[in-house]
A and B are shown apart, each in its own frame.
Chain A
Amino acid sequence: MADFETPKLDDITTIPTVKSGTMEHSSPYVAKPVIQEPLGFPGELVDDWENVAVAKLGELSNKYRALRVYLDSCVKCGACTDKCHYYLGTSDPKNMPVARQDLLRKVYRRYYTLAGKWFPKLVGATDMTKEVLDDWYSYYHQCSQCRRCSVFCPYGIDTAEISMAARDIMDAVGKGQKYCNEIIGKVFKIGNNLGLPEPALRDTLEDLEEEVEEECGVPVKFPLDQKGADVLLVTPSADFFAEPHIDGLIGYGKVFHQAGISWTVSSHASEAANFGMFIGSYENMRKVSMRIREAALDLGVKRIVFGECGHAWRVAYSFLNTLAGPFDFLDPKYPVPQHICEVTHDLIQKGVLKFDKSQNDHMVLTYHDSCNVARASRMGSKPGGQFTIPRDIIKTVCNNYVDMAADSIHDATYCCGGGGGLLTDDLMELRVRGAKPRMEAVKQVVDAHGVTNMAAICAICKSQFTKVFPYYGYGMDMIVSVHQLVSNAIIMDGAQDGGDEDRETAEDAPQSA
């Protein structure tokens, strides 16, 4: 299947020797006009694209002051060079964050700094050429916008912002990425990334109700478009579709049921993900977000709760109020918006939920911090809540839990390798190589502590690990949802036998690749 070699895992992640050009060939499919145009972008590379690109760069660096500071302030100290999982997994020097930034910075310098206008060669400034554009297309689609490098940068330069700006400029000249832009188009047309229409969603949820009742004997409902419900659940559409995502959705349903909270999914806003952020397009990000506001108003809910989705939580936590607010029509007693982990954690604190931890005794768990949750948001009322709350939940529902190495978790977490709009088959080599540092941290806890499963709260992480684990010799269902663990252990009133579902996790792992 693969025409590349899976990297060999080291005992400790080491900094590789530079090998120039190893990932030059990596470049995702370009969006066709039919995909570009509904998003307001030119269908194909425009005439005079060089000037359009330079003008757009000027516009963005004036509009976003942070971007201008990032472009101006790098002193080439080198602190970021070994912090990117794609550099560690590919050895390609253009995957060093500073080099990735410089692909854009050298053009910025040429047109927007005095020194670059007069003495371009002295300050590493270059013209906007076809070669530069091709390099941008390749290497800005080798950045998952995970922001690990920015944690280690003494100036806090955020490569994600630069990569978003570069993608925005490329869209403006008509060179967009098929994967992201096709998906955004589906959200506008159908309501979610998958393109799951309302009848299929209804059918899927009804099926799920049947399945859950058969398993635990309790009629847990998965309501759709139910007006007057208290909670609107906005969750990634992968939760309706893929494994282990759907096991997480079952967990949310059981928590709401057991706590007596009325809730609903909306067919209009049946997607938490917001790929508008990945392509750096404020307009598209806002349009996707507005669907959530519209659904909340239409259904008359009092609260908005987000399911397990990493970048959705960044958009929700950090930007939702300015993108689609004000949310003064919601109940002010609850945070707007709220994460499903916060909901479950609060209910645990209040003693509303009871668990039989032994239901997860067939697993030894570790937890993967998803980058956008870890480095771009928070949970709960205390600093670091985004690290402690998911772990507290896992430890409440499982007896066996071990953390991975300190330099690979919390705000130093490694990206799964598929974030930021790179979760597409045409980038499989990059995804497998980029997962190497995370795989090495996993291997350490597997070898030392017998870890059998890793939990996560991001749909992209879950799908990415399902695909890349087998490349490294692990089972695809080694990755589990946090609320899948909750679902296994929660004691439901009226249940027949305390819930005996989902027992095939560690031992029946189907292997692929």
Chain B
Amino acid sequence: MTLEVNGKTFETDEEGYLADLNDWEPGVAEAMAQAEDVELTSDHWEIINFLREYYEEYQIAPAVRVLTKAVGKKLGKDKGNSKYLYELFPYGPGKQACKYAGLPKPTGCV
């Protein structure tokens, strides 16, 4: 499968996750979100950027607790919970936000 963004073609897997993390650019996230009727706000971008930074360091998306804790520290305690993350990414921060950030899909019993 492929994704077209501003005339450029990006390769994705069967579920729409970017095939190569290094290909990512902000337009990819915009296009993926648009296809799922999600409007990306600065709140979304905070999460997407955090995911990319974490992945760069650890080669995996952060665990839900690690993510909520980091969000709580950065954006205030009221936002440091999974409820807030699900409001932003209704299909689940683990999967939907990772997809927009260009990360591979988390596998396993999750």
Is the pair A207, B66 in contact by a Cβ cutoff of 8 Å? yes
Total interface residues in chain A, CB < 8 Å: 43
Given A194-B106, A508-B83, do A241 and B91 touch, yes or no (CB 8 Å)? no
> Which of B26-34, B45-53, B57-65 touches A?
B57-65
Instruction: Give min CB distance, B5 to chain A, whole Å.
Output: 23
A179 interface contact, C-beta 8 A: yes
Among A1, A459, A512, A513, which residue has the most Cβ atoms of chain B within 10 A?
Answer: A512
B15 interface contact, C-beta 8 A: yes
B87 interface contact, C-beta 8 A: yes
* Interface mask (A183-210 → B, CB under 8 Å = 1, otherwise 0): 1001000001111110110011001100
User: Which B residues are in CB contact (< 8 Å) with A341?
Assistant: none
Those of A436-477 within 8 Å (CB) of chain B: 459-460, 462-463
Instruction: Give min CB distance, B12 to chain A, whole Å.
Output: 13
User: Which A residues are in CB contact (< 8 Å) with B65?
Assistant: 204, 207-208, 211, 243, 246
User: Which A residues are in CB contact (< 8 Å) with B58?
Assistant: 197, 199-200, 203
B41 interface contact, C-beta 8 A: no
Is the pair B108, A193 in contact by a Cβ cutoff of 8 Å? yes
* Interface mask (B72-110 → A, CB under 8 Å = 1, otherwise 0): 000000000111001100111011000000000011111
A273 interface contact, C-beta 8 A: yes
User: Which A residues are in CB contact (< 8 Å) with B43?
Assistant: none
Say which residue of A179, A197, A243 sits within 8 Å of B107 (CB atoms): A179
Is the pair A194, B82 in contact by a Cβ cutoff of 8 Å? no
A426 and B17 CA atoms in complex are apart in Å by 13
Say which residue of A237, A426, A510 sits within 8 Å of B15 (CB atoms): A426
User: Which A residues are in CB contact (< 8 Å) with B108?
Assistant: 183, 186, 192-195, 236-238, 241, 273
Majority secondary structure of chain B interface residues (helix, strand, loop or mixed): loop
12 A–B contact pairs at CB < 8 A? A199-B58, A204-B62, A238-B109, A241-B106, A243-B65, A246-B63, A426-B15, A462-B109, A508-B81, A510-B83, A512-B92, A513-B90
Instruction: Give min CB distance, A419 to chain B, whole Å.
Output: 10
Instruction: Give min CB distance, B53 to chain A, whole Å.
Output: 13
B69 interface contact, C-beta 8 A: yes
A196 and B59 CA atoms in complex are apart in Å by 8
A504 and B68 CA atoms in complex are apart in Å by 15
A57 interface contact, C-beta 8 A: no
Among B15, B57, B65, B82, which residue has the most Cβ atoms of chain A within 10 A?
Answer: B65
Is the pair A242, B86 in contact by a Cβ cutoff of 8 Å? no
Is the pair A425, B107 in contact by a Cβ cutoff of 8 Å? no
Instruction: Give min CB distance, B23 to chain A, whole Å.
Output: 18
B14 interface contact, C-beta 8 A: yes
A200 and B81 CA atoms in complex are apart in Å by 20
Residue of A nearest to B86 (CB): A510
A105 and B91 CA atoms in complex are apart in Å by 40
A359 and B86 CA atoms in complex are apart in Å by 26
A29 interface contact, C-beta 8 A: yes
Among A29, A423, A426, A510, which residue has the most Cβ atoms of chain B within 10 A?
Answer: A510
User: Which A residues are in CB contact (< 8 Å) with B109?
Assistant: 193, 236-238, 242, 273, 309, 423, 459-460, 462-463
Say which residue of A194, A208, A211, A510 sits within 8 Å of B110 (CB atoms): A194
User: Which A residues are in CB contact (< 8 Å) with B87?
Assistant: 510
Is the pair B91, A512 in contact by a Cβ cutoff of 8 Å? yes
Given A426-B15, A512-B91, do A241 and B110 touch, yes or no (CB 8 Å)? yes
User: Which A residues are in CB contact (< 8 Å) with B94?
Assistant: 241-242
Instruction: Give min CB distance, A424 to chain B, whole Å.
Output: 9
A356 interface contact, C-beta 8 A: no
A510 and B69 CA atoms in complex are apart in Å by 17
Is the pair A425, B95 in contact by a Cβ cutoff of 8 Å? yes
A200 and B59 CA atoms in complex are apart in Å by 8
A178 and B104 CA atoms in complex are apart in Å by 14
Instruction: Give min CB distance, B101 to chain A, whole Å.
Output: 16
Is the pair A1, B64 in contact by a Cβ cutoff of 8 Å? no
Residue of B nearest to A310 (CB): B109
Instruction: Give min CB distance, B61 to chain A, whole Å.
Output: 9
A240 and B67 CA atoms in complex are apart in Å by 12
A273 and B109 CA atoms in complex are apart in Å by 9
A182 interface contact, C-beta 8 A: yes
User: Which B residues are in CB contact (< 8 Å) with A513?
Assistant: 90
Among B14, B87, B108, B109, which residue has the most Cβ atoms of chain A within 10 A?
Answer: B109
Residue of A nearest to B14 (CB): A29
Instruction: Give min CB distance, A33 to chain B, whole Å.
Output: 14
Those of A148-196 within 8 Å (CB) of chain B: 178-179, 182-183, 186, 192-196
Question: Other than the known A193-B109, A236-B109, A512-B92, what 17 A-B pairs have Cβ atoms closer than 8 Å?
Answer: A1-B90, A178-B14, A194-B107, A195-B107, A195-B108, A200-B59, A200-B62, A204-B63, A236-B108, A238-B110, A241-B63, A242-B64, A273-B108, A426-B15, A460-B109, A462-B109, A508-B81
A243 and B92 CA atoms in complex are apart in Å by 11
User: Which B residues are in CB contact (< 8 Å) with A463?
Assistant: 109-110
A179 and B82 CA atoms in complex are apart in Å by 26
Is the pair B60, A243 in contact by a Cβ cutoff of 8 Å? no
Instruction: Give min CB distance, B110 to chain A, whole Å.
Output: 4
Instruction: Give min CB distance, B93 to chain A, whole Å.
Output: 11
User: Which A residues are in CB contact (< 8 Å) with B92?
Assistant: 512
Is the pair A200, B86 in contact by a Cβ cutoff of 8 Å? no
Instruction: Give min CB distance, B105 to chain A, whole Å.
Output: 8
Residue of A nearest to B69 (CB): A207
Say which residue of A178, A199, A462, A510 sits within 8 Å of B82 (CB atoms): A510
> Which 6 pairs across A and B sit closest by C-beta, in order of nearness?
A193-B108, A200-B58, A459-B109, A510-B83, A238-B109, A510-B86
Instruction: Give min CB distance, B44 to chain A, whole Å.
Output: 16
